[in-house]
Chains A and B, each alone.
Chain A
Amino acid sequence: MADVSTNLKKDWALTQAAFDKLLTSLDDDRELAAEKYEVLRSKLSRFFQWRDCPSPEDHTDDVLNIVARKISEGETIENVSSYAYGVARMLCKEIRKKQEAEQRAFTNIPITVQINQSDDEKDSLHECLDKCIGKLPDESRELIIGYYQGDKREKIDQRQVLAAKYNITLNALRINACRIRDKLEICIDECLKTVRAT
């Protein structure tokens, strides 16, 4: 994994067979494998966000493509999650190098950013959030609304109730909520682009 760019073969596209092999390497049980895949996606996406990389979702796809290709080419990977992290870390370093080179070309002006949305922006965000929540499957919708319901203590209690209801641990509930929120955020981004275009 010395050079991620060379691993990112642009002419290689993820095939169903390669994806199936990736899933099988995560777990023999198809349903569990799908869950593990979603968790791995969330971890990669968060990794790139927390490392302040510019396009977390695209980088996540790149990493998963590299891992899938390696597996489809017959490489034996003991721990897919750790391997994916290794690829992600290398990719992040390359992105950083590119960013630094680009930044040197510009004067670095510090920008103070705050959340000062106008009423119209807030309305659009709420509208898009409504639409995107509406597109979620019933169970995901119920989970995400319940997860953020209430205030402090009430919220903690509510989450325990939800975890009990779905018969999962609190940590599993957190990861599920994170996955749903990731999807919501992407959906909201798309929706806001449409709103702004009209």
Chain B
Amino acid sequence: MARNINHDDLISLYLLGELSEQEQHQIEKGYFEDDDYFAQLLSAEDELIERYLRHELSEGERSRFEKAFLGNPRRRRRVETYQALISPARQIRQPLKDRPSYLIWLDALRTFLSGNGKIIPVALALLLLAVLAGLWLYTKNSAPQREVAANRAEQHEVKPESSPQIVQNPPATPPGANRPSEENPQGTAPGRKAQRDQRQPRLENGSGPGPQQTPIVATFMLIPGTLQRGAELRTIEVRPDVTLIRLELGLLENDFSTYTVVLSQAGGRQIRKWPELKAQSRAGGAVVVVNLPARQITSGVFEFSLYGVNSGHDAQEVEDYQFRVIKIPS
């Protein structure tokens, strides 16, 4: 191999089909003889695909990648499958046994509706349970109480036994903006929530949330997109020990009896929907609150779409809230 380039670059060139026959032969001989070397190539291929999907390749690299990978049906399928596997929507689809109960219910319902006969008795039993639970809720709770119950259910899903610690995170700040010092709580900016110390006492064992640990709730306020035009994308940072993210979507006007909130990957696939939410009053306005288990979201750019619903009318889109999530590794 006469070229004066490092081996990682050589591997990239090989994967892009840009080496001479002799150079290709050297690499191929290597990976057919050595499993570890083969693994290194697999890893390099994954990295190349991921960099492409994250738009991290230079213009030249991107065009070479597209020529090499997307022109070949098998490699194209690899890129598409990879994209699907790493998408936030995929990240929340866990194996059935680990999935939250509401997702299992949705699956059961979906299968039932698609006409799979085996699931019908189970689905009917679940439906009966749902009706009974609904009747119980109806007689037991007023509308606002129901909403509180729904929020609690979300928290319950994360950690059933104990009451959550609340971490009042500051409103989302754009990257690079001066973050308020934690020793100097703000509270003066319009719409900014009173902020408590984000550094809640660490869990005793110092590890991530486990079955015996107290759930930690991080609260963020998001400003409607119409007020945000031209500004940098809002960023929220989620610590590794946070189990529940509470997002308060600020309203310009509270004109609807209920709201539906849809969370999507920016410009892409729907991740989750919260129907029939009531606005809650805050000093100087109103907010719609959604609770999202932290494990259901990864780092990335997301969007909430807020729809207002009045009785007897179709839902109408009211606002959108774009934001970036950065999950801080433990």
Contacts and interface: CB of A to CB of B under 8 A. Distances in A.
Nearest to A157: B329
Contact of A129 (B15, B71, B81, B268): B81
Contacts of B24: 51
Interface stretch (B40-48, B144-152, B165-173, B308-316): B40-48
B34 to A, nearest CB: 9
A30 interface: no
A156 to B, nearest CB: 9
A171 B35 contact: yes
7 contacts: A47-B28, A50-B15, A89-B28, A126-B84, A141-B95, A148-B86, A178-B42
Interface stretch (B72-80, B154-162, B188-196): B72-80
B25 interface: yes
Residue picked from B66, B72, B83, B327, most chain A C-beta under 10 Å: B72
B42 A154 contact: no
A115 B14 contact: no
A39 B76 contact: no
Interface residues of A, number: 55
* Main SS class of interface, A: helix
B89 interface: yes
A82 B33 contact: yes
B86 A46 contact: no
* Main SS class of interface, B: helix
B94 interface: yes
Contact of B42 (A46, A113, A119): A46
Interface string B16-31: 0100000011001101
B72 A151 contact: no
A171 B89 contact: no
A81 B33 contact: yes
B17 A85 contact: no
A82 B32 contact: yes
Contacts of B186: none
Interface stretch (A3-11, A15-23, A184-192): A184-192
A112 interface: yes
A140 B269 CA distance: 26
Nearest to B29: A85
Contacts of A171: 35-36, 39-40
A85 B14 contact: no
B90 A148 contact: yes
A154 B79 CA distance: 21
